[in-house]
Amino acid sequence: MSRQKMLARALIVFALLGACGTGARLAAAGEFVAEARTIAELKAVFGQVESRTVVPARARIGGTIREIGISEGREVKEGEVIARVVDDKLTFELNAADAKIAALQSQLDNARTEFDRAQQLLARGIASQSRLDQAKTQFDVIVSQVAAAQADKAVIEQRTREGAILAPATGRVLTVPVTLGSVVLAGEEIARIASGQYYLRLSLPERHATEIKEGGTVLIGQRGLSPVASGGSAAARQARIAKVYPEIADGRVIADVEVADIGDYFVNERTLVWIPVGERKVIAIPPAAVTTRHGVDYVRVATPDGPLDVAVVLGETFQDGGGPRLEILTGLRPGDRIVMPDVAP
């Protein structure tokens, strides 16, 4: 016999001895009976982070932006001054209002003097009652004119104060579409503020409309668009469907999902969401029962002739009351006794 044949035979003998030794250890460990169970059929879709309300901060007067005190991402409080618009014409209107009030005040002083003189002359019997009535009427007219001029000035001052743009609600600034020196009109949008609670909005195919219901449970992945980045459905957390909208648009059903600790910064961020769209029966075993050799997955099954390594095809990993379970697509049947590896040192 050649040297190469002897070496090959020796390697085969050592491999068989190693397999027998391993089988003895596995047989001594506990067993797990493979059973068929019903699990939810999950569909992975993208959920988009939305704010319950997004309110615009608008300019109340037209003019030029002279001050901007915010930027995208900053938190603001309701009533906080976030920008300022200045209309140079208001300064001239205010000066004109002051001049008009000053002129009317002079006329008022003169009318008061004439009214007092008419009263004195009437008391002495020199002037008539009609002259006194005329002086009083002139005095009352000018008093009203002064009050109207002061009201006009108050309107101008109020318009000047309205150049301060206030945050309409407490929240986070999403966009600031203007710059210093921009000319804006009254009612133009200066900033958009996300002021409501954040939630996930789902857009599902119409065929799943009957499977989703308000109050149903879905699984939310971690931040990231890929199953690897989000941790997959096994690492997902549960959330509740808060609302299902009755209108179907473009073959899509819209639903909102309430998620705890979703954050309050990014809006329109997308993340993976797994929703139940049906049920299916699977054979599932603990992940520890699977061993991998040369890229092939094996499960050791107890048979009347002794433990037998069976090649299997693995499916998804999910959680149940007994811990993580691994779906077996092919290779096992319900009732097979799985020999669990000995995890003792």
> Residue 317: which H helix or E strand, with range?
strand 313-320
CATH number listed for the domain at residues 53-85+163-195: 2.40.50.100
198 pLDDT above the threshold of 80: yes
Instruction: Classify domain 88-162 at the CATH topology level.
Output: Helix Hairpins (1.10.287)
User: Where, residue-wise, is CATH 2.40.50.100 in the chain?
Assistant: 53-85+163-195
DSSP H stretches of helix in 279-334: none
**What pLDDT does 6 receive?**
38
Q: Which amino acid would we find at residue 101?
A: I
Average pLDDT over residues 203-222: 82
Place of tokens 């219901």: 213
**What pLDDT does 145 receive?**
93
pLDDT mean across residues, the chain: 81
The tokens for 277 are: 């769209």
139 pLDDT above the threshold of 50: yes
The tokens for 240 are: 């509740």
Which region among 23-37, 38-52, 62-76, 85-99 has the lowest average model confidence (pLDDT)? 23-37
CA atoms of 174 and 191, how far apart (whole Å): 7
Question: Are 328 and 284 spatial neighbours (Cβ–Cβ below 8 Å)?
Answer: yes
User: Where, residue-wise, is CATH 2.40.30.170 in the chain?
Assistant: 43-51+197-278
Instruction: Supply the DSSP symbol for 222.
Output: P
Place of tokens 């009318």: 111
* CA 48 to each of CA 201, 239, 263, 268: distance values in angstroms, whole numbers, following the listed order: 5, 14, 13, 5
CA atoms of 316 and 280, how far apart (whole Å): 13
Confidence class for position 235, pLDDT limits 50, 70, 90: low
CA atoms of 284 and 317, how far apart (whole Å): 9
**What pLDDT does 43 receive?**
79
Average pLDDT over residues 214-241: 68
CA atoms of 324 and 314, how far apart (whole Å): 14
The CATH number, out of the four listed (3.90.930, 2.60.40, 2.40.420, 1.10.8), of the domain defined by the range 3-33+286-339: 2.40.420
| Architecture label for domain 43-51+197-278 | Beta Barrel (2.40)
User: Where, residue-wise, is CATH 1.10.287 in the chain?
Assistant: 88-162
Question: Are 73 and 265 spatial neighbours (Cβ–Cβ below 8 Å)?
Answer: yes
CA neighbor of 90 nearest in space, from 187, 181, 162, 198 = 162
User: Where, residue-wise, is CATH 2.40.420 in the chain?
Assistant: 3-33+286-339
